[in-house]
Amino acid sequence: MEGHLQADHVHVLLSIPPKYSVAQIVGFIKGKSAIHIARTYIGQRKNFSGMSFWARGYFVSTVGTDEEVVRAYIQMQEKEDKRLEQLTMFHRG
């Protein structure tokens, strides 16, 4: 429903049907995306055993009535990252 990719983590707003657990969906997304990244950017075609791309854990929170607040937070991440990067560059110089 919403997402933002950052250098060291990903924010995603998902709607998961009750028949699936959060762990199933997160595992599926992490597994399929890791395979895609290995194939596309590393040139690995098969035998992915022993490789790890994503960290083992993840953070999950339910949204309920605050969906628009969470969606806005995710959308603002890129602007916030750029603002923090500029502050860091300013303080280094």
Catalytic residue among 20, 41, 58, 73: 73
Domain layout of the chain by residue ranges: 2-92
Decide: pTM greater than 0.85: no
Condensed to tens digits (0 to 9), the pLDDT of residues 25-62 reads 999 998 888 888 888 887 766 666 666 778 888 888 87
Average pLDDT over residues 60-86: 80
Q: Is 20 a catalytic residue?
A: no
The beta-carbon contacts of 6-12 under 8 Å, at least 24 apart in sequence, are: 6/77, 6/81, 11/73, 11/74, 11/77, 12/74
Are the beta carbons of 60 and 10 closer than 8 angstroms? Answer: no
